[in-house]
Structure 1
Amino acid sequence: MFIKIRNNHYLRSTLMFALITFLAGCEAPLNLEGVEKEMSKAVHRTDQLLGVAVSQDQVVVVGSDGVVLTSPVSELKWQRQQLSNNPNFVDIELCPDTSLIALSMEHQLWISDDQGQHWRSSDIPTQESLTSVTCGPDNSYWATGSFSTLVSSHDKGASWNELSLNEDAAISSVQFFDSRNLIATGEFGLLARSGDGGASWTMFDPIPNEFFPMTSHFSDPSTGWVAGLGGIILYTADGGQSWQSQETPTDSPIYNFYARDGRLFAFGDHGTVLEQQRNSWRKLDTPKIPVYLRDGKLLDDKRLLVSGGWGVLFTVDI
């Protein structure tokens, strides 16, 4: 009996070894050629490209995992770099002095003085989630976030000031009209103005129906647009005292506005790019893709560069 059990154990071991050897011999070599080819590209299909800026003759795109893409404006040939610690960028802005600032989810502002080639970071001392960034006319830095928070730096990120409007709402954007006059919009229809450079703020009647503007743009203190879910875009001609809905050809969420040379564009989900025309919006011809678009900038009077999720980066003929 003892010998039989021992022989069975030996037989099982021999068969198992033979099976493993056979399977190993039959397994095809792992082919990484496709992966390596994808990783060698400047733009990866996994990139979430959330911000675009044009600085002089360079275009700079930032995204998740510390991705920074740069290219000449004249001919798009992308160069890729990934910044240390892989900051997840959510926004980028060009300052009046031609420097670039990029906001990351990790409460950091990244600053470049050479068109996106090199960057330095500044830690923003706040516990609130930050969602957008802008540059003031005096090259001050401003970031907005949860609990109606605005954080600002007037010394190139060496120190920061934090201010809350004491509303349990996220500020989605802040915009300067000049060095003293600003407007902020946010969750639950939040609408606030400052006439002293952002030192103090006055709350206005909220946008009706607790509308959450995911983005806003004002061409002057009286004339503005806000956009959000369902493809809804509202318009005011009296500084936010009243709002009218403008017709849009989409029910997809709208995430961002961009204005230049008297033209106003909007970017949204499902590959949506809109342009404002009088009191309505027209949909521009874009690839039919189920991907969100987050930002865009004019490269010249014929090309609009658009970026978004899953490595989407293309030009639209305008």
Structure 2
Amino acid sequence: MAAAASNGLTRRAAVAGLAACALPALLPVRARAAPTASAVPAVLSSPAVLTPKALGAAMLAVCRSGTRLVAVGERGTVLLSDDHGAHWAQARVPLQATLTSVCFVDERTGWAAGHLGTLLRSDDGGQSWHKQLDGLAAAALVDTAAQRTGDATAIKQAQQLVNEGADKPFFDLEFTDAERGFAIGAYGLMFATADGGRSWEPWLGRLPNPRSLHLYGVRAAGGTLVVAGEQGLLLRSVDGGASFAPLPSPYKGSFFGLLRTRGGALVAYGLRGSAFRSGDDGAHWDKLDSATPLTVAAGTALPGGGFVLATQAGDLLLARQDTAALRRIPSREPVPVAGIAVAADGALVLASLRGMRRLPAPALD
């Protein structure tokens, strides 16, 4: 998996072992492609196909919008459940790019992000979506920002992004309210919005990331933003994103995600069962004993305190309280898990490469 991470697989694609599952459409490579004409890829203009097969699609993320569950995955697939994950229906999506992340701030307003610089917004609980950004527009924004600085290196990098076309995968999203949000992704991509996504501002130049390492997780609280990524990269802003500084990293392997507990602690997780907890916004980290060599693929906070992590084989690592103690719950049905959420009835809902799975709350006892 170390090689996979350095090759820059999609955050959830890498941790779920998609290379072994032969889904090349989900696997952007680490090396940048040669410059090509900036044509609009067909998948950005073709609606996602409505098909019963969507229920078995590779799903990469899931979240709550009120009591509804919204899951996203390959080829623009968005699935909705209004019965806590027991049944799912496909939503209409205006494109076929693979979606890797989804985030709702209330029961109606949410965003999804994914390959080809895709950023989508929904105002009806995920029933319908409209595109706010794609990779071509994102590259143009980076180029405009670089031209304003007059920095030759930034201008050269921006022009390379323009020449490469739309291939700009986003890996994670974070919105603090209906106006302010952040999207991160490959090659150090970071964009921010202060108007609900009507406009996006590139923040690449604000990050101390000279090697353009991939960014896989972002969490915000108040004026503090923490970003985690490839090769143990940890960055933090304490001024709302105006500036970032590197954090001492407790691990040199890749982090594939961040979660924030109800008590305010951060948990970073990734390769080879690695998981670390910080109670001071990343200044110090304590290693969590996951008791597994498997990559930790997903995680979410629990409503009553604590958190749960999921490995690439579907095992659960449960912390009932906001502590460093983890209890491993072996998977009853081993599936490559890529995302996890808590349903309104307390059940755990897993986004996997074989569709959606529901684990009743008693399974956590």
- Report the TM-score range of the alignment, normalised by the length of the smaller protein: 0.7 to 0.9
| Residue 328 (structure 2) pairs with residue 283 (structure 1) | yes
Q: Give the corresponding residue for 2:145.
A: none
Q: What residue identity is the alignment partner of 2:290?
A: T
**What is the rounded CA distance, in whole Å, between the counterparts of 1:176 and 1:245 in structure 2?**
22
The structure showing larger relative contact order (alpha-carbon pairs under 8 Å, at least 6 residues apart) is 2
Q: Give the corresponding residue for 1:269.
A: 312
| Residue 215 (structure 2) pairs with residue 171 (structure 1) | yes
Q: CA RMSD in A?
A: 2.5
Shift of 1:147: 3.5
When residues 166 and 75 of structure 1 are mapped into structure 2, their CA distance, relative to the original with a 3 A threshold, is: closer
- Aligned positions of 1:23-172 closer than 5 A: 40=52, 43-44=55-56, 47-73=57-83, 76-81=86-91, 83-96=93-106, 98-124=108-134, 125-126=138-139, 127=161, 128-137=168-177, 139-164=179-204, 165-167=207-209, 168=211, 169-172=213-216
Alpha-carbon contact 1:306-1:316 (below 8 Å) kept? no
When residues 282 and 69 of structure 1 are mapped into structure 2, their CA distance, relative to the original with a 3 A threshold, is: same
Alpha-carbon contact 2:98-2:115 (below 8 Å) kept? yes
Alpha-carbon contact 1:148-1:166 (below 8 Å) kept? no
When residues 316 and 254 of structure 1 are mapped into structure 2, their CA distance, relative to the original with a 3 A threshold, is: farther
When residues 66 and 202 of structure 1 are mapped into structure 2, their CA distance, relative to the original with a 3 A threshold, is: same
Q: Which SS does the other structure have where 1:270 is aligned? A: coil
When residues 54 and 219 of structure 1 are mapped into structure 2, their CA distance, relative to the original with a 3 A threshold, is: closer
| 1:36-59 deviation line (CA, Å, top 9, x unaligned) | xxx646612xx1111112112321
**What is the rounded CA distance, in whole Å, between the counterparts of 2:283 and 2:270 in structure 1?**
19
When residues 222 and 100 of structure 1 are mapped into structure 2, their CA distance, relative to the original with a 3 A threshold, is: closer
2:225 to 172, 182, 186: 182
TM-score (norm 2): 0.68
Return 5+ residue gaps in structure 1 as ranges.
1-38
When residues 267 and 140 of structure 1 are mapped into structure 2, their CA distance, relative to the original with a 3 A threshold, is: same
Shift of 1:316: 3.9
Q: Give the corresponding residue for 1:254.
A: 296
**What is the rounded CA distance, in whole Å, between the counterparts of 1:221 and 1:300 in structure 2?**
20
When residues 266 and 136 of structure 1 are mapped into structure 2, their CA distance, relative to the original with a 3 A threshold, is: same
Q: What residue identity is the alignment partner of 1:293?
A: V
Q: What residue identity is the alignment partner of 1:143?
A: A
Q: Which SS does the other structure have where 1:147 is aligned? A: helix
Q: What residue identity is the alignment partner of 1:288?
A: E
Alpha-carbon contact 1:142-1:152 (below 8 Å) kept? yes
When residues 223 and 299 of structure 1 are mapped into structure 2, their CA distance, relative to the original with a 3 A threshold, is: closer
Q: Give the corresponding residue for 1:200.
A: 243
Q: Which SS does the other structure have where 1:188 is aligned? A: helix
1:299 to 327, 331, 343: 343
Q: Which moved more, 1:105-114 or 1:153-162?
A: 153-162
Alpha-carbon contact 1:227-1:234 (below 8 Å) kept? yes
**What is the rounded CA distance, in whole Å, between the counterparts of 2:332 and 2:292 in structure 1?**
15
**What is the rounded CA distance, in whole Å, between the counterparts of 2:193 and 2:324 in structure 1?**
38
Shift of 1:129: 3.4
Q: Give the corresponding residue for 1:213.
A: 255
When residues 260 and 98 of structure 1 are mapped into structure 2, their CA distance, relative to the original with a 3 A threshold, is: farther
**What is the rounded CA distance, in whole Å, between the counterparts of 1:50 and 1:253 in structure 2?**
15
Shift of 1:90: 0.3
| Residue 274 (structure 2) pairs with residue 232 (structure 1) | yes
Q: Give the corresponding residue for 1:33.
A: none
Alpha-carbon contact 2:260-2:301 (below 8 Å) kept? no
Q: Which SS does the other structure have where 1:43 is aligned? A: helix
Q: Which SS does the other structure have where 2:242 is aligned? A: coil
Alpha-carbon contact 2:58-2:352 (below 8 Å) kept? yes
* Percent identity (aligned): 21
Q: What is the aligned residue count?
A: 275
**What is the rounded CA distance, in whole Å, between the counterparts of 1:257 and 1:298 in structure 2?**
10
User: Which protein is bigger by CA-based radius of gyration?
Assistant: 1
Shift of 1:166: 4.2
Q: What residue identity is the alignment partner of 2:233?
A: L
More helix, by proportion? 2
Q: What residue identity is the alignment partner of 1:188?
A: Q
Shift of 1:83: 2.3
